[in-house]
Structure 1
């Protein structure tokens, strides 16, 4: 009832999409994809993409069922709860909530008017009618506040404070959260009163970013400033393999400790690649060359920040704390901003 005629199936453990599947052209393949535990991309490039191929950026989807149900379990709704959802998408998640709690207790905010209209049609077909509002998800929806539960189906790097403000004391906010560097996990925050929400991460995730918080990364040319590589970089070596820093959890941890930085990989034959690190202000960059089987790796660093050194320190910090998983990290959000912590909310740092 909720999946459109044309979809681009994803994969269960990543963010890539496969070729278009059309219900008209191959109903068997379409149904198999719909009833698989995978995400389904339903829109590319904010609706500007045309044709059957992959677009540049996926911008709406029906999430992987296992993740949908896991997040609903994190949300822990009870009879009488009133839920605010950020990101309607196909309407399926809003429909599940409305089926559980009743239409009058679910409000869903969707930024894209076309997506919102289609979601309403899908919900009507399922004989459900939660309130679907077209608006800026960062602001929530004041009309139904306070909510006892707030859930986002898009990721954020900064939890909008309006979500905390519009959630009742003792209520829950569940949202995918990730850093600029990479990695992402589900934050499960309890509003503890005084305009503060705090809690731990529950599981890794990979969601499309809230549109107003998308990262716009400078081009490669902005860093070398017209000079041939290695430009003004200083050469060195490291015993830390760049491959060790590439897991979803390692990226998440590095992002918590190395602010305003991101990476990309330039790959070569035989499994070798260069890991490029960039400061968001374009003033600093670094490269680390990974060659399979090597124990020493060439590093070049340039600018006021020594980005590879920062990554090494973050990785070393993680190792000294016995490589904690997502569930040992936490997030506290207040009007003053957001802070992350490991095990102890009293020992936090700004992100």
Structure 2
């Protein structure tokens, strides 16, 4: 096997010129939640806690830990309350959780959570399948969740799914997506993550959608991106977002994940692949790539299958 480290790879460059690319990127690690919720293997609580511990040790500062959804819908995360109670407390590490509704918020508040995320849809079809309500109704459902959370001092993130393509409706209108996203921010979300839920986006679409958000008064400082790699475009889409000024990127260690309500969705952008690219661009991120690769090799063994990350395969032999 080629020793890529011995070759001095990746070739690092000086920090980017101001305005060309962000000087630092926040990596929003979704593997423990978005990654594991789509696995056929249900891991033990101890394995999940060890996964989180290892990710924190690798330098990841935002770890989306779990989801307070009904175990009937996502049995892989049925132990959410127990996991939160046993989380390793690491200085500087945040543990946001996903909540679907007020009942989920109640559970999060009972658990002492400081940060939540809600999960909206940019299309009617996906809203019906994922939220059991229409697009217009989702705002009425989320309004009390966000209001109560912010009143309690919680930070709230909004996810917007199907921003670039929907298996039932095709490609959504960017202006409509931007308007839907703006409404979620207007409810009180401090950040909005734009999801390519089925992994069909291209860099041109990314640029177009970010311009559409600018046209409705939403700057890139309030946006994050969340790409899946169905067509191998996740990294190129991320680079397009970085060049537009986005500085928060969602990714999943080892490329874990997908979407249980969209069968065509494959794994998330692998955190290791993202880190390799950021290193090559001279962008700071705070992650120890070798430690992260070891973590994903370990997790691949727990799941009984190879890692989907090309960087993990190249450096870790998984």
State if a TM-score over 0.5 links the two structures. Answer: no
Q: TM-score, normalised by structure 1?
A: 0.28
User: Which has the larger helix fraction?
Assistant: 2
Q: TM-score, normalised by structure 2?
A: 0.30
Instruction: Compare CA radii of gyration and give the structure with the larger one.
Output: 1
